[in-house]
Structure 1
C-alpha cells in the first residue's frame, strides 16, 4: 500500500491531465477516485465504497436537488420565462443585473446556487455579447462573494466550532476578503462589459416592469425564499418545479423535454463521481497523511497554513471539505492559547477558498461551465488572475503580521 499523501497528489494530477485531454469531468474525477483507492485502500473495499456512496443519503439528496434544478431551468426556458427575464433586466440595467442576481442568490447557501443564477443570466449574457466563458466567470465569481464571511454558510459556522471562538470573530476576521473579492470581480468584469455590447436604456422602473420581472423570475425567487425560510433544498426545488408546471399548464411533450435535460446521465454520473472522490479521500485518511508529511519535512507555518487548506479545497470542491478536513489539523497554528490567531485564520481560510474555486470537482464551476457550454480551460483564464491576487494578499498580510 502506498502512503495516502502521494496517492492524493497523484489523483489530483491525474484528474487535471484527463481534463486537459478533454475527457468528461465525471470520468476524470471517477478515475481520480480509482487512483487513490487502488494505491491506498484494500482492493476488496472498493466495490463496497462505490455502492455505499451511491446509496448514501447525501448522494441521493444531491442527485435529487440538481436534477430538479436543471429540470426547472429547462422548463423556464421552454415556457419563455428566461427570455422575458433577460429582456426585463436589460431594460432596468443589464450591467447591474449581471452582478446583482448571482450576488443576491449567493446570500442563500444552497446546492446548485450558481446553476440557479445561471438560469436567470443566460439570455441576458447573450444579449450583451458575452462569450460563454465570460458569462460563466461573472456568474461563478459573484455567486461566491459571501462564502468568505457570511455566517449563514456552514463552513463559517463550522470554523467557529472547530476553533472554539465566537462566530462574530470568524466573520470579522474574514470580512476584508469579501470586500477584496467584490473589488477584484468588478474590475475583472468591467473589461468584458464594453458599452457597445449592450443596448442600455435609461428607463425608469415602473409598475409594469416590476410586474414583468416578478412574473418571469418567481420560480427563482420562490426557491431562494423557501431555502431562506429553512426548507430543505431537496423539497424546495421539486415543490417549485411542480408549482411552475401547474401555473404554466405544462404539456407532456414539454415535461418530457425538461425531464430529459434534468436527468442527463452525464450530469448524474458527474455528481456521483464527486461524492465518490470525497468519500475516497475521507476513507483513506489522505489529508492527515499529507499534513504529517508536511510537518516531518519541516515546512514553515506559512506554507502549511496555505498548502493544506488549498489542497483540500482543490481536492474536495466544497467549503465543508477543506474546513472539516484541514482546520482540525491546523488548530495549533490557528489559536494562541484561548485567543484566535486572526492572521493565520485569514491565510488558511482564504487558501481553502482559492483551492475550492479552482477545483475541477467544484459543482458550481462544472455545472455553470456545462450550462453556458463554455470551455473549462478558458474559464480558468478568467478566474485564475483574481484568485492569485487574493491569495497573494492573504500571504502578504500573514507575512507582515508574523
Structure 2
C-alpha cells in the first residue's frame, strides 16, 4: 500500500509538470484529480472539489489575482509604465537594474519584453547575453517582497502565515539578489547617463501611485477594519488600484475590453482554484501521514526540491504548492515558520529565474539575440551564491 501511495503521488506530480507547459490551473486541477482517484473515495474527492469552489477565501483570492494582471495591462496600454521609467533620474547602472524591477511589479504575460527595449537603450555597448541576464534577474526581484506579487500572496496563504509577517523575512533575499546582481552584472557597465529628455516629477508620481495604491490599501484595510476573510482586503485593494489605473490612464471602455481579453484574467483565477484543490486532495490523502513517519532532511526538502521544481516548471506557484504542504506534513505544523518560508520561496524563485521554460527567459534571449547556455553561464554564480544564502535561514531554524 505504501509503495502504491508514493507511486500515486509521483504520478500526480508528473501530471502537473507535463500539463503546466500548457495551462498551470488545469495542470494543478488534473494533478489533484489523479491523486484523488488513486487514493481517495470518489465522494471525498467531490467533497474536496466543492469545498474549494465554495470557500470564500479562495473565491476572493481568485478574483483579486485575476484583477492584478489587468492593472498591469492598463498601465501598459495607456503608457503609464513608459511615463514612470522615462522620468527616473539615476545613472546608467542603476537604470539597467531599476527599470526592469519597476516593470516587474506589474504582472503581465511577456512583461520582460516591456523592459527589454529600456535595457537595450541603456546598454547598447553591453553583450546580448549579459543584457538578457540583467533583464530577467532584476525584473523579478520585486516578486520577493512586493505585497501584490501573486506568487507571494498565494504562497503565504498556503503556508498559513500572514503576508506582512512573511515580507520582512524576504528582505534579505532582496538585498542578496540586488548586491549580487550589481556586483556580477552591472559593476563593469559604464556610468553614462541614459536620458535625452527633461524629467517630470508629476509624470512619474501618477503611475507610481497606481502601483503603490494596492499594497497600501491592503495593509490599511487589514489593520483598520480587520475583515473576517483576509482576502476581502486584497480584492478591495486590487480594485482601488485598478480604478486608479483607469482614471489616470483614461483608456475608455473599448480599450479596457481589449486589455481584459489580452490579459486573460480568468486564467490567473483558475490557477488559484486548481492550486487549492490539489492541496486539499493532498491533505486528505494518506501521504501526509506517511511523510511524518520518515526521516527527511528539511534543508534538502526545501532547497533542492523547491529549486528543481522551479527550474522544471518555470513557475514559483507550483513548487511552493507542492513543497510547503509536504513540509507542514513532515513536521506536523499548522503554519510554516517565516524563516523556513523564506528558504522555500527563495529557492523556488531561483530555479524559476534560470528555467529554460520561464517565458521571460525565452523572450529575453530572443530579443537580445543570445542563447540559453551563455545566459545560464552568466547567472550560475549569482544563483549558486543566492542558494547558499537561502540555506542560512533553514540552518538557523534547524539549530
TM-score normalised by L of structure 2:
0.65
Is 1:96 the counterpart of 2:89? The answer is no
Q: Distance in 2 between matches of 1:370 and 1:324?
A: 28
Residue aligning to 2:218: 227
Change (3 A) 1:388 1:40: farther
- Partner of residue 300, structure 2: 306
The answer for the alignment partner of 1:164 in structure 2 is none
Which residue matches 1:140?
140
Secondary structure at the counterpart of residue 44 of structure 1? helix
Tell me if structure 2 keeps the 8 A contact 1:101–1:117.
no
**Residue 117 of structure 2 is aligned with which of 126, 129, 140?**
126
CA 387–103 in structure 1, closer or farther in 2 if over 3 Å, else same: same
Aligned residues: 352
Match of 1:49 in 2: 48
* Counterpart residue number, 1:183: 179
Residue correspondence of structure 1 range 245-394 to structure 2 within 5 A = 245-284=246-285, 286-292=287-293, 294-295=294-295, 303-307=297-301, 311=305, 317=318, 326=327, 329-330=330-331, 348=340, 351-357=343-349, 369=359, 381=376, 386-392=382-388
Cross-structure match for 1:336: none
User: Does the CA contact (< 8 Å) of 2:39 and 2:286 recur in 1?
Assistant: no
Unaligned ranges ≥5, structure 1:
107-112, 162-166, 333-339
Q: What is the rounded CA distance, in whole Å, between the counterparts of 2:156 and 2:193 in structure 1?
A: 38
Aligned with 2:193: secondary structure? Answer: coil
Q: For 1:288 and 1:239, locate their aligned partners in 2 and report how far apart those are by CA, in whole Å.
A: 43
**Cα displacement (A) at 1:74:** 1.6
The 3-state SS of whatever aligns with 2:200 is: helix
* Cα distance change of structure 1 residues 190 and 37 upon mapping to structure 2, 3 Å threshold: farther
**CA apart distance, 1:39:** 2.2
Distance 1:10 1:384 in 2: 31
Whether the aligned pair in 1 keeps the contact of 2:70 and 2:259 (CA below 8 Å) is yes
Q: Per the alignment, in what secondary structure is the counterpart of residue 200 of structure 1?
A: coil
**1:200 corresponds to 2:199:** no
CA drift of 1:213 comes to 0.7
Task: Identify if the C-alpha distance between structure 1 residues 226 and 319 changes in structure 2 by more than 3 Å, giving closer, same or farther.
Answer: farther
TM-score, structure 1 as length reference = 0.64
Q: Distance in 2 between matches of 1:317 and 1:94?
A: 36
Q: Deviations over 1:62-91 (max 9, x none)?
A: 2211222222222222222122223223x5
Structure 2, unaligned runs of 5 or more: 121-127, 223-232, 310-315, 366-370
2:218/2:236 contact within 8 Å kept: no
What's the RMSD between the two structures over aligned residues? 5.2
